């Protein structure tokens, strides 16, 4: 399984009173992950229109090893610890890619 992409969708609900600090921490974590981890192929965060505290993150990792390594990085652990009281709900969905393309 090490050679197969790991693709996940994270569905998060954020305490509306803490949305701005949460978004800042998320942006910092995504920036560091993509810049510092070769196995993090992409991280894309969006909010549901008219429900800004409903966040969705599409995560793409080179393989299971890259995903597991990501969970142990200092920047991810900082994000996880700092946002623990901000996240009111978290659902992680493993998904199978059908068609994924991006321009460089």
Instruction: Show me where the domains of the chain are located.
Output: 6-95
CA–CA gap between residue 40 and residue 4 (Å, rounded): 13
Q: Can you give the pTM of this predicted structure?
A: 0.93
Distance, CA of 69 to CA of 78 (rounded, Å): 15
Full pLDDT tens readout for the chain, 104 residues? 456 999 999 999 999 999 999 999 999 999 999 999 999 999 999 999 999 999 999 999 999 999 999 999 999 999 999 999 999 999 999 999 999 998 87
φ, ψ of residue 46 in degrees (nearest 5): -140, 160
Helix axes 19-36, 74-83, angle to 10 degrees: 170
In words, the CATH class of domain 6-95 is: alpha beta
């Amino acid at each position: 399984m090490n050679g197969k992409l790991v693709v996940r969708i994270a569905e998060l609900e954020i305490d509306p009173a803490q949305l701005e600090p949460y978004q800042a921490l998320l942006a910092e974590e995504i920036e560091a992950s993509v810049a510092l981890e070769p196995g993090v192929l992409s991280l894309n965060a969006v909010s549901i229109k008219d429900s800004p505290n409903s966040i969705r993150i599409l995560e793409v990792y080179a393989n299971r090893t890259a995903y597991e390594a990501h969970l142990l990085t200092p920047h991810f652990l900082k994000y996880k610890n700092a946002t623990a009281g901000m996240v009111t709900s978290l659902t992680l969905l493993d998904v199978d890619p059908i068609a994924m393309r991006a321009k460089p």
